[in-house]
Amino acid sequence: MKVFFLTMMIFASQLLLAQGEDSSTQEPEKIVSGDTTIVRLGKHQLKIVEREGKDEILLEKLQEDEWITRKSWTDGEKDEDCFESKFAEWHRKNKLTHWSGIYVGSNGYIGNNQSIELPEGLSLLEVDYSQSFMFALNFPEIKLRLIKDYVGIYTGLGYQFHSYRMRQNTHIGFGNEMSFEIDSLRALTRNTVQAGYLRAPIMLEFNTSLNPAKTVHFAVGVVGGFLLHSTYVQNYHEAGVDYTLNSQRIPNLNPFTAEVMVRAGYGPFVLFASYGLTPMFRRSEGPELFPINAGIGFAF
């Protein structure tokens, strides 16, 4: 195996010469010292070091009187091994970015009184938190590493769906201006506002370990959203018949959203909470309500 390495070393040295990295035409110099064999050519050298029965080959360059290693190989290493090693390293780093994944939780909104108990006049829009929910599927992510994977800023894309179940028997009218009142004609069995958003975050993330399975992680930042679809669903029972009314595309919903988000977890498990910076409805067309979310997820 050492003969193979030595042949490759001489060939690589001559290749460096052919590429013009050394302008001299000198022959390679061979130096043998103990378990180390060196082939030197100008400011480049290839070194074989035998350790515990295995050969390691180093490509080095002389810089300011010091030999700097530019590349290394281990005896028996294959291209596939290099690819697998690089993929494993990428996969490990990807596991230390906790955006992509599946998330579920509860959602609602608060008024300008900063309480889930809405101000007087808006109580008909209070949600039933036991039947209101959200889920999110986040997929691509990219991270700017500031201090390895201990500190970094990431962004990505995701889809988030919200379902707000009204607690009271309220009929909501949408149009140029929202209206809401008790429905005295029907007993609604389902009264839900639904909306789906495309989302993109800018999050500052901290990891306590470079081991994805053992890291405690924390992230804080802002998430922007764009409204993709919306529906107002009402179900009711009348004269022995079940009826469903669907109103597609709620015009009063704010098409652009922004929320502050906090995320924390251990390994792939994530707890999150968010607070809307923009109102749920257009300011001139609906009440001032700010979305809130909280839940749990699994990052992959």
DSSP characters over 262-281: EEEEETTEEEEEEEESS-SB
- What pLDDT, on the 0 to 100 scale, is given for residue 53? 66
Pick from 181-185, 196-200, 222-226: least confident: 181-185
pLDDT digits (tens, 9 = 90+) for 27-80: 677 777 778 888 887 777 878 887 766 777 778 888 777 787 766 655 555 555
What separation in angstroms does the CA of 154 have from each of 149, 206, 223, 224? Answer: 11, 11, 11, 14
Task: Give, in degrees to the nearest 5, the angle at Cα 271 between 269 and 272.
Answer: 135
- What pLDDT, on the 0 to 100 scale, is given for residue 23? 44
**Alpha carbon 24 to chain centroid, angstroms:** 52
- What pLDDT, on the 0 to 100 scale, is given for residue 18? 46
**Single-letter amino acid code for the residue at 150:** Y
Determine if residue 68 is left, alpha or beta; phi over 0 gives left, psi from -120 to 50 gives alpha, anything else beta.
beta
| Letter string b/e over residues 265-295, b meaning 16 or more CB atoms within 10 A of that residue's CB | bebbebebebebebbbbeeeebbebbbbbeb
Write out the two tokens for 124: 């008909």
Counting Cα atoms < 13 Å in the Cβ hemisphere of 191 gives 23
- What pLDDT, on the 0 to 100 scale, is given for residue 36? 85
pLDDT digits (tens, 9 = 90+) for 133-191: 999 999 899 999 999 899 999 999 999 999 999 999 999 999 888 999 999 889 999 99
pLDDT digits (tens, 9 = 90+) for 87-140: 566 656 678 999 999 999 999 999 988 888 999 889 999 999 999 999 999 989
Candidates 159, 157, 134, 175; CA nearest to 229 is 159
**Which residue has 């990431």 as its token pair?**
154
pLDDT digits (tens, 9 = 90+) for 250-279: 999 999 999 999 999 999 999 999 999 999
